[in-house]
Amino acid sequence: MEAQPRQAEIIRRTAETDVTLNLTIDGSGQADVSTGIGFLDHMLTLWAKHGLFDLKVRTAGDLHIDEHHSAEDTCICLGQALNHALGERRGLVRTAHSYVPMDEALALVAVDLGGRPYCVVQANFITSRVGTLGTDLIGHLFESIATHGRLNLHAQVLYGSNDHHKVEALFKALGRALDAATRIDERHHGAIPSTKGAL
């Protein structure tokens, strides 16, 4: 039987934002992202490219207040799309990690798609924002992806001096770690990758 495509569409409409997000896990790295936050668009495009995911995002939000709601709800939808597209998570490699350098910065991201949401982010930023995205939001955005994607996510900037480079290394590492963890290992023969028999 031919495998069903691992993809999802998430629509989230609130009094603060209107988000439509389409994700294909087994893609080719194509991204079409418009959130109204240029730096976040850049990061999600990098995430898709390095994870070989196809991603389309349209976010309209209350940017006249600040970027928080638009960025947060976009990442909530990204986590929900990952969770939906993975289904029962049968046959997954499940855990993976990636080190990514970006000039003087080095980041590590490790993930476990075992269904238990948890997030730890260790990163120190010098500036209050990169473009129009507050650096204080970076940890929260990763947490939103982890919580709604039902995954463990540990991210660390090991060193670096440029905040743009640090955040870019984090998003690239997240894409690459998720690419590896979402792959199907044929040796599992479609089984749930857990000794409990369920995720």
Residue among 64, 39, 60 at smallest CA distance from 133: 39
Judged against a pLDDT cut of 80, whether residue 164 lies above it is answered with yes
Rounded to two decimals, the pTM is 0.96
| pLDDT bucket at 190, cuts 50 / 70 / 90 | confident
Residue 4 is predicted with a pLDDT of 81
The tens digit of pLDDT for each residue in 169-178 reads: 999 999 999 9
DSSP state, residue 69: H
What is d(CA 134, CA 170) in angstroms, rounded to the nearest whole number?
Answer: 15
What's the token pair of residue 161?
């001096």
Q: What would the mean pLDDT of 109-130 be, rounded to a whole number?
A: 98
Q: What does pLDDT average to over the chain?
A: 96
The sheet with strand 118-122 has its strands ordered as 95-102, 105-112, 152-159, 118-122
DSSP state, residue 133: E
The tens digit of pLDDT for each residue in 134-147 reads: 999 999 999 999 99
The β-bridge partners of 153 are 111, 119
CATH superfamily to which 7-188 belongs:
Imidazole glycerol phosphate dehydratase; domain 1 (3.30.230.40)
CA angle 62, 64, 69 (to 5 degrees): 35
Judged against a pLDDT cut of 50, whether residue 1 lies above it is answered with no
The tens digit of pLDDT for each residue in 44-57 reads: 999 999 999 999 99
Residue 2 is predicted with a pLDDT of 54
Higher local confidence (pLDDT), 199 or 28? 28
Judged against a pLDDT cut of 90, whether residue 188 lies above it is answered with no
What's the token pair of residue 99?
């080190």
Judged against a pLDDT cut of 90, whether residue 66 lies above it is answered with yes
Residue 195 is predicted with a pLDDT of 75
What one-letter code names the amino acid at 5? P
